[in-house]
Structure 1
Amino acid sequence: MNKENTIKYTIAIPFLTNEYTFSISRKTNWSIIDYLFLKELSQREMTVKSLSDFSNLETQVVIQILLPMCNVGWIDIVTSRDSFIFRITEMGEIAYSLSVKEHELICKVDKYQRKREVFVDYFDNYYSVYSFDSLLLTHARYMSEINKNKNIVTLPIDDSNSYPKYTKMYSVMAREHEKIDNVRDEAVYTLTTKKYLLVDMLYIEGRKEGRIIDDNKVKKLNEKLIRQITNTLPAIVKDDNSLLKAPLSKDGNNYEIKVIAKRGDVDFVYGGHNTKAKLIELIQSSTDFLVIHSTFIGKWCIVNDDGYTHLFLEIKEALKRGVQVYILWGKSNAEETDENFEKSDSEDKAVEKKLRDFNESCHQEGMLNVVNYNDFRRTDSHAKFVITNHVDKGLCTMVSSCNFLYAKFERFEASVVVCNDQFTKYFLEIAANICCGKSTFDSKVRKEFRGLSSNIADTPNDVDIPNNEKLELRLVLKHQHHSYIDLAAQAKNKIYIISDFINTSPIRPIFDALKKSEAKKYYYYSKKSSYIDHSEIVEMHDDLKSADSLSQLGAHHSNSHAKVLAWDNNDLLITSLNWLSASAPNNLVEIYHEIGVYVQGWDVAKDFIKVFRSL
């Protein structure tokens, strides 16, 4: 390294960004002085001087107080030969009479729409343009040219974190006295544009951190991002091997949303026949809307030898009641280069025809309301869920291991039904995000799901429930699953992991992570993945037994399709993730590809284990 005392360099901080249209309410708040002035004017007309004498305020301050009330039509200004005279209007009299009891003037609420730009950093923090000292950030297209002229260190950004999180938007996009009522997406709804904040730095030789030259430029940024900026050193220091640039790491948040619910508002459903019965019951009890997301769809779930199946006959009855029914298809379209493309494509087209025929049969019965198939656009998600507004229980969501529109309901399944407004509100946002598949363009169905979600009012989560009736529920996305393996490692007695398939994927993230646990481990699967042979299963079994004498790995005789992690008595995670065959890396790629619900509550794991062991 060049032996200089200081090195000047620049850090380029990337943000994913997009513009959204915000529906906004803005309140005009009045002070007690405004109230007292209007009270005096309700009794007599007054000049600026008389109001100044009354309040002991300078005349210029008096005018500043009166002008906003003039603007809303509460006060008129009458000119006289010597002075301005202020008098109350009819609207002012009404405003004063409404405020007499509380001694506080009613607020004026303005409603308007504004297009504003949203910025998201590496750590998933949200910002408005007013979070930056400089209103103009550098667009990605200009960075290569800037890099030629400056000693720039560019921080990374996770491009896959492109789904907007509206709750976070609401908290940062409102300005003083504003409230965000709603957000409307543009044609491209994802956070796809990349812009950079350029921060000039100074490195003093021998120090462990760089110094930000202009603190005002970053003062509104998240503290963790600021620490990353100061910990990032110029490239020449790294080349000299004296100090390395600090690596970035995500926060250890292991859930997307957390709610507290009464046990009576949560239903655990175990077994294939019980799963079918619950699905039918949700369809029969649906009002307003019904969303069914199934990874796969089979013709046998639509029609049989006698005509339409019980499932689709109940969907038709829901349509007759005016329920808007959506069926989302998760399975990815086969690539043309796939050797099984023709077979897969032919099967999919046959299913599409059966679904279209079903809608046509509805039309033939004189029905205008038919199923919305989202234009058969694939969500590329392995999650399985049902969302509806239940006639008796209100808004509810069913999360399951079961492919509702493919299963014959002969295998053991595990599901959880959550009747909770906030949980359902967030799940509708997920449905909105995944319904577009890999496309970044907004769609009619996505707008409708977002509309359903935004119409659900926010409710407090501080519910006072007795401990034996209280359940804590967390919505777990794909990249958050393996953090629950770390939690399970603290178990005292037993850990159960149930999976449909097995391959070598779980060796490091599961087997190695749990081998030091003092609890007994039970790993069960139904069948091996196609690309692993029996000898590899035997070898994995022997290696696991020698490394962890408290573990037991084997195929379960029940032909289970459930995907469950349960430990001790009170901790249970029901999911779509095949624990012993699927990978769930800690990144934001395909975050909605797998979705589960973690439940902590009295004996929830104990009850599941009892059912499973009885099979």
Structure 2
Amino acid sequence: MMVVKVAVPVLRGKLSVLLEKGRPWSLVEHLILEALSRSEFSATELAAQGQIPRRVVIESIIRLMRAGWVQLSKHENTMCFSATESGKEVAFFSELPNFPKRVRKSISFIVDQAVGQVFRNREWIVETEGVVRERTKNDTLVWIHPESEGLKIDPGAFTASLLEDDEKLIDAASAGVSRRFALLTVRGEIVEGLPDRELPELRKIVLQAAKSFPVSSKPEQKLYSVPGITAGSGKAETVDRRIHFDLKDLILDGEAHKKAILKVLHDAKSRIYIHSTFIGKDSFMGLLPHMEAAIKRGVQIHVLWGQNDDPEELISTRRAIGEIREDDRIRDVSGSLIIHPFSTKSHAKIIVADSKVDGRFVAFVGSCNWLSSGFHSYEASIRLSDPQIVADVVDNLARLVCAENGIWSELITEFVNLSKLLRKQPPTQPPNAVARLVIGPRHGDYILRARDEATSRVFLTSHRLGPTAYPSVFSAIGALAAKNGIMAELYFGRSTGAVKNRHTVQAINDAATSGVTLVPVSSPRLHAKILAWDSRSALLTSLNWLSGDPVDGVDVKELGVFIEADGVASKIIDNFECAKE
């Protein structure tokens, strides 16, 4: 059996963090305090009435006594417990007040440069390149070589790996990183030296690297290239979420989007986050009175902006931001209306906000550039209220603002803590649909799903028709239409600069040959990006299906929501047909 050494490049770094440490009160502890506020009980009586283990009762009482909310009293031969006066004061609060301690400490970490996973420093032994070369000078060695390197990581996963369950991040600052290597040994299919956890993707890369080495009788060294962690390879996998969905959660056409953002500004309780691909001064200033009204109620608004393939429009956005910041009305509210100076390089369109009605957060994902739109175009977005999928959206906002150099901002901390809060919230209504975030290159999977699953109809809209994406879309949907006679309708608003009129006519004719109807739409102005099939499958997104290329160096260049729910596709298609008439 050939033995191969594999050197995995990593970054080893250190974060200086400020934490709040302290486990929140459990529902059982709260219920016990309520019971003891009404009457005295022994631990045995509490366990019997609550039908919970006596050990859990005792552990809960100990915590409550440490807080000064429960006291001990003796009746004949029985030890009983009751609430103190301060315990009675808090017992019937909706949540027991928590008193965490603030702690500042340093956390050492390792990020592998092949996959981008985060490890505690103690999980891996890593060495400098010089030490690895010295240790392996008589061995067969493969150096894994990432084509791109950096700290472009998922902040949520980062803190989940490095913080304890009872720790809440307040602030973090990077103390720098250094390049190191983890030295692994591969014997057949066995990899020695990996951290003790499930690492299927990293293990696969290591085995492929080892197998790439030809059998040789003498020790040799070689490179094995991998894309690396900043190549937009779709590392941020998402999961299906069972959610409650109402057809009213679909935001269709321009006027509906205008009403949606005005409602967000009117209803917000404390925070609004808006990510718009670009910003237009007139559109922004048109919403300013509504922003000012929200700010007067104590709402803080964060404005993020992203990528645009048109250099002139990108320059226009930067110019608009500069002019907006010079306005006296903006300066007056600059502490509450924060226009972030950097581009996220993303084409995603997102709003996340809470509500003064119930304090819960909602998210909007879709096609609308909220801060540059005049709301005259046909748009398509979806409103999400289930805490788990809203947390997924927040996690991706955190990824968008995470700089490649590892700088940790206050906004990242805010997103990380908000996501953690949302993960703990129960749904407010029973689920009736399945939804999932769709990120970057994963959009292509849904073209193939439509091809494989559709039984009656495929419907697609794109703002633009370009030379890059539409041939692959046509080949997949065309094959479906030709094979099964399924209705396939594709609509676009305009062609890109590279596609001339004659190319557009040729594309329409080529599509017709494949059994696909390709239709330019001038009224209403089409900006929606939709893929839907049959009656209950739809994907609303920021990706221009017929011109965009989601495979890019930006992790979350495009973001959409796929949903399976009764009537969702039919509702979207019917609404679009009415808007065209």
Secondary structure class of the residue paired with 2:508: helix
Query: For the pair shown, which has the larger CA radius of gyration, 1 or 2?
Result: 1
Secondary structure class of the residue paired with 1:322: coil
For the Cα contact (< 8 Å) 2:154–2:398, is it kept in 1? Answer: no
For the Cα contact (< 8 Å) 1:265–1:419, is it kept in 2? Answer: no
1:384 maps to amino acid: K
Which of 387, 392, 412 lines up with 1:446 in the alignment?
Answer: 412
Aligned to 1:198: 183
Aligned to 2:434: 472
For the Cα contact (< 8 Å) 2:145–2:224, is it kept in 1? Answer: no
CA shift in 2, pair 1:199/1:438, >3 Å: closer
Question: When the two structures are aligned, how many residues end up with a matched partner?
Answer: 500
Aligned to 2:109: 117
Aligned to 2:392: 426
Q: Does 1:12 align with 2:7?
A: yes
For the Cα contact (< 8 Å) 1:501–1:526, is it kept in 2? Answer: yes
Aligned to 1:609: 573
Q: Distance in 2 between the 1:198 and 1:373 partners? A: 45
What are the within-5 Å matches in structure 2 for residues 327-346 of structure 1?
Answer: 327-331=303-307, 345=315
CA shift in 2, pair 1:574/1:279, >3 Å: same
TM-score (norm 2): 0.73
Aligned to 2:351: 386
Q: Does 1:356 align with 2:334?
A: no
Secondary structure class of the residue paired with 2:549: coil
Q: Distance in 1 between the 2:309 and 2:488 partners? A: 38
1:484 maps to amino acid: Y
Aligned to 2:41: none
Aligned to 1:237: 215
What are the within-5 Å matches in structure 2 for residues 252-331 of structure 1?
Answer: 256-264=238-246, 267-303=249-285, 309=286, 311-331=287-307
For the Cα contact (< 8 Å) 1:173–1:180, is it kept in 2? Answer: no
Q: Distance in 1 between the 2:276 and 2:521 partners? A: 25
Shift, 1:448, TM fit? 3.7
Q: Does 1:377 align with 2:342?
A: yes
TM-score (norm 1): 0.70
**What percent identity do the matched residue pairs reach?**
20
What are the within-5 Å matches in structure 2 for residues 40-79 of structure 1?
Answer: none
For the Cα contact (< 8 Å) 2:307–2:343, is it kept in 1? Answer: yes
Shift, 1:418, TM fit? 1.0
Aligned to 1:48: none
CA shift in 2, pair 1:168/1:543, >3 Å: same
Q: Distance in 2 between the 1:217 and 1:297 partners? A: 46
Aligned to 1:30: none
Q: Does 1:596 align with 2:560?
A: yes
Aligned to 2:496: 529
Secondary structure class of the residue paired with 1:596: strand
Secondary structure class of the residue paired with 1:580: coil
Q: Distance in 1 between the 2:261 and 2:345 partners? A: 22
What are the within-5 Å matches in structure 2 for residues 27-42 of structure 1?
Answer: none
Aligned to 2:199: 222
1:443 maps to amino acid: S
Secondary structure class of the residue paired with 1:154: strand
Shift, 1:553, TM fit? 1.4
CA shift in 2, pair 1:593/1:140, >3 Å: farther
Secondary structure class of the residue paired with 1:155: strand
1:10 maps to amino acid: K
Aligned to 1:538: 505
Shift, 1:246, TM fit? 11
Secondary structure class of the residue paired with 1:613: helix
Q: Does 1:179 align with 2:165?
A: yes
- The 10-residue stretch of structure 1 (390-399 or 474-483) with the greater mean CA deviation from structure 2: 390-399
What are the within-5 Å matches in structure 2 for residues 557-596 of structure 1?
Answer: 557-558=522-523, 559-585=525-551, 589-596=553-560
- The 10-residue stretch of structure 1 (152-161 or 590-599) with the greater mean CA deviation from structure 2: 152-161
Q: Distance in 2 between the 1:358 and 1:602 partners? A: 49
Shift, 1:590, TM fit? 0.7
Q: Distance in 1 between the 2:301 and 2:272 partners? A: 5
Q: Distance in 2 between the 1:150 and 1:380 partners? A: 43
- The 10-residue stretch of structure 1 (119-128 or 267-276) with the greater mean CA deviation from structure 2: 119-128
CA shift in 2, pair 1:348/1:124, >3 Å: closer
Shift, 1:11, TM fit? 1.3
Q: Distance in 1 between the 2:323 and 2:4 partners? A: 62
For the Cα contact (< 8 Å) 1:384–1:403, is it kept in 2? Answer: yes
Aligned to 1:496: 459
Q: Distance in 1 between the 2:426 and 2:112 partners? A: 26
CA shift in 2, pair 1:264/1:400, >3 Å: same
Q: Distance in 2 between the 1:168 and 1:462 partners? A: 26
CA shift in 2, pair 1:163/1:184, >3 Å: farther
Shift, 1:187, TM fit? 3.2
Q: Distance in 1 between the 2:455 and 2:224 partners? A: 37
Q: Distance in 2 between the 1:595 and 1:160 partners? A: 23
Q: Distance in 1 between the 2:545 and 2:190 partners? A: 45
Q: Does 1:406 align with 2:372?
A: yes
Shift, 1:285, TM fit? 0.8
Shift, 1:259, TM fit? 2.5
1:494 maps to amino acid: R
Secondary structure class of the residue paired with 2:249: strand
Secondary structure class of the residue paired with 1:497: strand
Shift, 1:116, TM fit? 3.6
Shift, 1:396, TM fit? 0.6
Q: Distance in 1 between the 2:543 and 2:458 partners? A: 17
Q: Which runs of 5+ in 2 are unaligned?
A: 25-62, 83-99
Q: Distance in 2 between the 1:451 and 1:273 partners? A: 34
CA shift in 2, pair 1:372/1:172, >3 Å: closer
CA shift in 2, pair 1:509/1:584, >3 Å: farther
Shift, 1:601, TM fit? 0.6
Q: Distance in 1 between the 2:226 and 2:246 partners? A: 43
For the Cα contact (< 8 Å) 1:563–1:574, is it kept in 2? Answer: yes
Aligned to 2:56: none
**Deviations for 1:216-259, whole angstroms, at most 9, x for unmatched residues?**
6565452454455445326233999xxxx999899999952443
Shift, 1:495, TM fit? 1.0
**Deviations for 1:310-337, whole angstroms, at most 9, x for unmatched residues?**
x211111111111111122224699xxx
Q: Distance in 2 between the 1:151 and 1:492 partners? A: 54
For the Cα contact (< 8 Å) 2:128–2:181, is it kept in 1? Answer: yes
CA shift in 2, pair 1:94/1:509, >3 Å: farther
1:515 maps to amino acid: G
Shift, 1:183, TM fit? 4.1
Aligned to 1:154: 143
- The 10-residue stretch of structure 1 (442-451 or 567-576) with the greater mean CA deviation from structure 2: 442-451
Shift, 1:195, TM fit? 3.7
Q: Does 1:553 align with 2:518?
A: yes
1:117 maps to amino acid: F
For the Cα contact (< 8 Å) 2:155–2:416, is it kept in 1? Answer: no
For the Cα contact (< 8 Å) 1:329–1:378, is it kept in 2? Answer: yes
Shift, 1:373, TM fit? 1.0
Secondary structure class of the residue paired with 1:569: coil
CA shift in 2, pair 1:111/1:322, >3 Å: closer
Secondary structure class of the residue paired with 1:198: strand
CA shift in 2, pair 1:189/1:612, >3 Å: farther
